[in-house]
Amino acid sequence: MNLQKITIREYLTQKGIPFHDNGKELITKCLFNNCDKDSSGSEAHLYFSTETGQYNCKKCGVKGNLITLAKFLNDDPIKIGPVNIETRKRNVRTITPLLVEKYHNSLTPEIREYLNNRGISDKIISEYKIGYGNFHKTWWITIPIKDLTGNFVYLKLRQDPKYGDKKITWPEGEAQIYEWDDVINATDRLLITEGETDALLMKANGINCISSTHGANTFKEEWLKYFNKDISYYICYDNDAAGRSGTQKVISLLYKNGFKNINVITLPDIVGDKGDLGDYVSRLRLPISDLFSKYSKPYPEKIDASIFQPITSKDIVEVLEPTIKKDDVAKVITTLAMINTYTEESQMNIFFNAPSSTGKSHIPLSISELFPKEDLIILANCSPAAFFHEQGKYVKEVNEIRVDLSKKILIFTDMPHPELLTRLRSFLSHDQKESKSKITDKSEKGGNRTKVVVLIGFPTVMFCSAGLKVDEQESTRFIMLSPSIEQDKLIAGIKQSIQKEANKQSFRASIEADEKRSLFKKRILAIKQANIADVIIGNSDLVEKLFLHDTSKPIKPRQQRDIKKVICLIKGFSLFNLWFRKRDGDYIYATEEDITEAYKLWDSISIGQDYGLAPYIFKLYTDIIIPLWKEKINSKDLDNNFPSSGIKRQEILKKHNETYGRPLSMIYLRQHILPQLEQAGLIAQEKSNDDGRQMVVFPLELEIDKDIQNNSAYDSVVKQERKYSDSWGGVKVQNVNLTDKKYE
């Protein structure tokens, strides 16, 4: 039996339970404890509310509702949802044409003059029944609002300017289009503004115009199914942060839903901060025609691809150098990852992992400035519930929060809540384009309520964290990167900070005036507009030879994921050069140049990736621990060339400071760095033979420098010289070859 749409009266009747009606209550003999067995005649003590379905036995005290009653009577409680109860009569305010006319007739000469001064003519005032009335102990201008069917649903109230500038609805109601008739009847162009008075002003000037009733950011995607895709749309919101945000939302929704003729009107600076159409038309009396020509630009901006030339890694480095000093490999890989956002399924994940104040978040945030703002989601630490609610849309009918992250760049400037990372694992692995999980929210009554979260699409995800403890499940899903802490990089960064902080406006102006940077931004936008579904790699044999060139090493399980990262890098280079690649519909073909460029990057970081380590930790092993071990070997006798005392932690701290000019805390070394190296199998920690209270470090991979030198796929496959320079992310390693004659 489906109890979802029946009242308590209907349910008792269907179950054959006799009752008698007592106004708002139904009374029957107790069904639970047989306490009415001694009741005579019509006497009964189990009372049901016809309004709520709740019951209470006045004799035995049992209480409950329709759901608990159904359980007791062996009906399926899962089928019980919102009950169609006999609702009490409420004092519902209905907006009738008569009421609208009443407020319209109450319009005072002063308010009419105020509206006229704002460019709203008497004809428009009469046509749209603008009125005046007293609500909540003050006076308001009334604007009647209709729904899609043409019925009045509420009055939009704008406070009489003598008493304030508040805006509310009476009675309360959801956002609507003002006016729907203009949407339905539009045949040429339609202007979308921020508020009703702007819409009325433009109507007075013969412009077909609408607005959303509840503010700049309340435009709903569901409305667009009633919009004509064959006409032109112009969006003109106020000249402030809310207006710019609202404009971005509307144009993004239009573009996402397949509207082609989208235009953004940017009001000139002369209207001032927070200026609107009223300032432009009524106060400044500027030409309305200029809005649709001089101040209007199509969205997205139409870009002439003939201005582009083929680019390589070095070109990308050159564009980014003014804002990101050094760190060439990290910034190129990050840029390639972000451009892959615009494919269907080739997105990448990057983990920036290094100590604090090294510039982890600076790299992705600086590069993200080159990408369209509507594609960026930048967050700090947040819980799963907060993330899903903020980014998702709740669908009440199916109790789901749908989070569409398709073709988005998601940057966490700090490590998110561990539970959020756990919930995102399958999503980050691209296992399914739609994945489901469940969260628990607090209900209005204080209980727990479960909701289904549906993650849709694949974003590019970037995490930034100073905590160097990384679970292996995360390290295999990400490319691990670290900003450099070399002295020359730090000096360059300090010089840049001085220039920026000394005159921020001048610094920003010089960055924005950079022609190469401007051209690169246009290139990114053109790639987005190209709608490339995927990149086809025809020469898969070359990819295989490059990745499997070192047959002396066993293949690790994690390399099944690593090869996907390499392929994504290849696709990134192809996308940046799509106009110079073979194209077949929504697909382009990678060239051998793309493949070798990608491997040039991968080779510079691959050894550390094999161990699941951030470059910072891997370099600490090669720059600090191995040289310390070498020094100990040099100090030993030939017959005792294995230092049994190991490397003390204090020695590592001292060497770190000498090498990088930066102190390292003992706690950070002990809790973050050494556990990661130990987990990777690069070191072992044991109690010191000299002092049992101390732990010492023994390196286990003594010929890792040989691995680095022999790792290049170019020497064996492409015959291309490989240079291990700092700027290209190569690892400076002091050779620790224990078989070298000088150690004998």
Q: What are the pLDDT digits (tens) for 628-661?
A: 988 888 765 434 545 567 899 999 999 999 888 8
Task: Quote the mean pLDDT of the chain.
Answer: 84
CB 6 within 8 A of CB 84: yes
pLDDT at res. 370: 94
Produce one character per residue of 593-602: b if its CB has 16 or more CB atoms within 10 Å, e if not. ebbbbbbbbb
Residues forming beta bridges with residue 449, ordered by sequence position: 441
In the sheet that holds 409-412, the strands lie side by side as: 376-379, 409-412, 460-465, 349-353, 479-481
CA 217, CA 247: separation in Å to the nearest integer? Answer: 8
Residue type at 593 in one-letter notation: E
pLDDT at res. 24: 82
Q: Could you report the per-residue pLDDT of 142-174, keeping only the tens digit for each?
A: 999 999 888 999 999 999 999 999 999 999 888
From the list 199, 209, 197, the residue with the least C-alpha distance to 234 is 209
Work out the number of other CB atoms within 10 angstroms of the CB of residue 526.
19
CA 405 to chain centre: 7
Tell me which H or E stretch contains 190: strand 189-193
pLDDT at res. 177: 96
Please tell me the number of Cα atoms within 13 Å of 371 on its side-chain side: 27
Residue 702 has pLDDT above 80, yes or no: no
pLDDT at res. 374: 79
Residues forming beta bridges with residue 201, ordered by sequence position: none
Comparison of pLDDT for 643 and 305, the residue scoring more: 305
CB 202 within 8 A of CB 234: no
From the list 465, 507, 496, 504, the residue with the least C-alpha distance to 482 is 465
Query: Which of 383-397, 566-580, 726-740 holds the top average pLDDT?
Result: 566-580
CA 637, CA 347: separation in Å to the nearest integer? Answer: 54
CA 171, CA 96: separation in Å to the nearest integer? Answer: 12
Work out the number of other CB atoms within 10 angstroms of the CB of residue 6.
19
CA 703, CA 553: separation in Å to the nearest integer? Answer: 13
Q: Which two tokens stand for residue 692?
A: 């049992």
CA 521, CA 369: separation in Å to the nearest integer? Answer: 9
Residues forming beta bridges with residue 232, ordered by sequence position: 189
Residue 321 has pLDDT above 50, yes or no: yes
Q: Could you report the per-residue pLDDT of 328-351, keeping only the tens digit for each?
A: 999 999 999 999 999 998 998 998
Lowest mean pLDDT segment, chosen from 4-18, 205-219, 398-412, 633-647: 633-647
Percent of the chain with pLDDT strictly greater than 90: 43
Find where tokens 């161990």 sit.
611
Residue type at 250 in one-letter notation: V
Comparison of pLDDT for 614 and 312, the residue scoring more: 312
CA 430, CA 588: separation in Å to the nearest integer? Answer: 22
Work out the number of other CB atoms within 10 angstroms of the CB of residue 301.
11
CA 268, CA 279: separation in Å to the nearest integer? Answer: 11
Find where tokens 């607090």 sit.
442
Find where tokens 């030198």 sit.
709
CB 374 within 8 A of CB 505: no
Q: Which two tokens stand for residue 44?
A: 């009964």
- 3-state SS, residue 298: strand
CA 148, CA 386: separation in Å to the nearest integer? Answer: 33
Comparison of pLDDT for 421 and 30, the residue scoring more: 30
- 3-state SS, residue 113: helix
Comparison of pLDDT for 598 and 7, the residue scoring more: 598
Work out the number of other CB atoms within 10 angstroms of the CB of residue 699.
20
**Phi, psi at 440, each rounded to 5°:** -115, 125
pLDDT at res. 561: 83
Please tell me the number of Cα atoms within 13 Å of 52 on its side-chain side: 8
Mean pLDDT (whole number) for 228-241? 93
Work out the number of other CB atoms within 10 angstroms of the CB of residue 244.
16
Q: Could you report the per-residue pLDDT of 493-534, keeping only the tens digit for each?
A: 888 889 888 988 888 888 888 999 999 999 999 999 898 999
**How distant, in Å, are the alpha carbons of 334, 546, 547 from that of 713?**
22, 5, 7
Find where tokens 């969260």 sit.
439
Q: Could you report the per-residue pLDDT of 52-103, keeping only the tens digit for each?
A: 888 888 888 888 888 788 888 887 655 544 444 344 344 446 899 999 999 9
Q: Which two tokens stand for residue 612?
A: 């699941």
pLDDT at res. 445: 55
CA 130, CA 155: separation in Å to the nearest integer? Answer: 10
Q: What residues contact 601, with CB distance under 8 A and at least 6 apart?
A: 313, 329, 332, 333, 336, 569, 729
CA 526, CA 520: separation in Å to the nearest integer? Answer: 10
